[in-house]
Structure 1
Amino acid sequence: MQGLAIIKPSSKLQLSSFILVAAAIMLLGLAGVAHGGGRRRLVVSGSEDEPCKKMTVYYHDILYSGNNTANATSAAVTKPAAALSTSHWKNGTYFGKLVVFDDLVTEEQALSSEPVARAQGFYFYDRKERYNAWLAFSLVFNSTAYTGTLNLLGADLMAEKTRDISVVGGTGDFFMSRGVATLSLNAYEGTVYFRLKMDIKLYECYV
């Protein structure tokens, strides 16, 4: 029409629009993959007594002592602050000691029983007055029952018979899971070996 100018979009504008659309499609595709192609649904427990998934496993820690290289699964990477850790207890509280571990996790109590996962992470002693630690680790599953990870962290209040730490997420069969792991000391041999019983209850699960 006379008097009207028809403005055609520039090639740069078309290219920018194409890139934005392609990026959006890619993000939607990745989201679909992350959620199992849209097949997963979130299940949230309505009761503390009715988790959406639960399990009991045993965590074995064998601290490197200088002569157990073959079977040690953890090692101290810092020395405790002697002046602080012995300020309250004659034998020390290990305050400041950091331990990195790659520990075996089994379904049964025996160390020789079938493994279900590896616990990989660290703990450190963080209290001067008494034994107390803080944990952060992943349970790495690769078995016929489960694959994926569960990520756990929290204060290990060692004076308590049982203590809870948080399950803050996961991958694979435990995608975005949340819940609580209740720990209790199940066995120990001096300062070189200990076994924890872990009662894990998940209250948010994707299924």
Structure 2
Amino acid sequence: MDTAFDPSLQHWLDLAGIFVFAISGALLAVRRNFDVFGIAVLAAVTGLGGGLFRDVVIGAVPPAAFTDLGYFLTPLLSTVLVFFLHPVVERINKAVNVFDAAGLGFFCVTGTLKAHEYGLSLTSSVVLGLATAAGGGVLRDVLANEVPSLLRWDREIYAVPALVGSSAVALLIHFDAVRPSTTLTAAALAFLLRLLALRYNWRAPRAWHRRSAKADTEAAGPDGNLGL
């Protein structure tokens, strides 16, 4: 079988993405002072949400999350690890961002590959790769009562790194160059781009000739945190 769509490769990339995304969800739950059940729920939703959306859209039903025990056990493992880590509050937010960036990288690759495997065009596969990568993080933020990073004007670019990673995979497919090493490189590209965005505060442009900064203050509310 072509290594581009090697089920074993996709399976392990999926599990890696689930693990790091679940870690980010569990860490956010700790930051929000959730109990152990809340930590487990947020870890599972973050780790599995994007993949569930992908599988439903492409008709891969029942979704892999309901047919492979590893997909259930991986978020639980993340929950246990985070639950017993000695909390270092000032480092939690940074850890959430790093693991979220890693999950973004893995899932934009697996989402694009699996979408194309199920017959979607390269363009549609890229879009679904982006949705797979961002879906878990969006659900995580919504359940934690935060505005999703994907929609925050005051946060570093989130969708762009996933879009770059998905596009890189589409190019690999087009040139028949998908290999374990090249797919991991595409995931690393999205991961590093997201980390660089966090490091250097790269943000997407807003509307041309938009209203004055007064609207930003009004949207943020009296505490300046956009209602958070």
- Alignment TM-score, normalising by the size of structure 2: 0.23
Whichever of the two has the greater Rg, that structure is: 1
Identify, as 1 or 2, the structure richer in helix: 2
- With a CA cutoff of 8 Å and minimum separation of 6, indicate the structure with the bigger relative contact order: 2
- Alignment TM-score, normalising by the size of structure 1: 0.24
